[in-house]
Amino acid sequence: MKKGDIWQGDVRLVPVEGTPPATAKLVKSIVLAEGEITGHMHTLSADQGVLLWDDMVWVVGEEAGALSHPEHDPSPVRVVEPEQAYQVVIQQERTLAGSWQPVKD
């Protein structure tokens, strides 16, 4: 079964090949994005923790990781596959000046 991208608002988790390096940081939960205007946060959490390195995340253990956001998913939803590396991609928008910037919510 091929694992697909996971979307939650302006946050996208893209499955990638690989395993976390020994230097990856173990945390209980991580804020993937925070709304600059509303202050709402896209949060990934897991019972046994989440490994974080660069723009990548890895859910530790056998239970799926849970995404939560007060507007999109007020109750955490267990949708992030365990033992799978994901690249965190924040949606971008083009400005009137022709440059790119993260979407602000």
The pTM (predicted TM-score) of the whole model is 0.77
Specify if 68 maps to a domain. Answer: yes
* Token pair recorded at residue 42: 């896209």
User: What confidence tens digit (pLDDT) does each residue in 31-78 have?
Assistant: 988 766 666 788 999 999 999 998 899 999 999 999 998 776 677 888
Task: Check residues 16 and 69 and name the one with the higher pLDDT.
Answer: 16
Alpha-carbon distance of 58 to 42, in angstroms, equals 16
Specify if 95 maps to a domain. Answer: no
Q: How many domains does the chain fold into?
A: 1
Q: Give the pLDDT score at 36.
A: 62
Alpha-carbon distance of 49 to 24, in angstroms, equals 12
Domain residues for the domain of 71 are 6-90
Q: How many CA atoms lie within 13 A of 92 on its CB side?
A: 8
User: What confidence tens digit (pLDDT) does each residue in 82-102 have?
Assistant: 999 999 988 755 667 766 555
Specify if 54 maps to a domain. Answer: yes
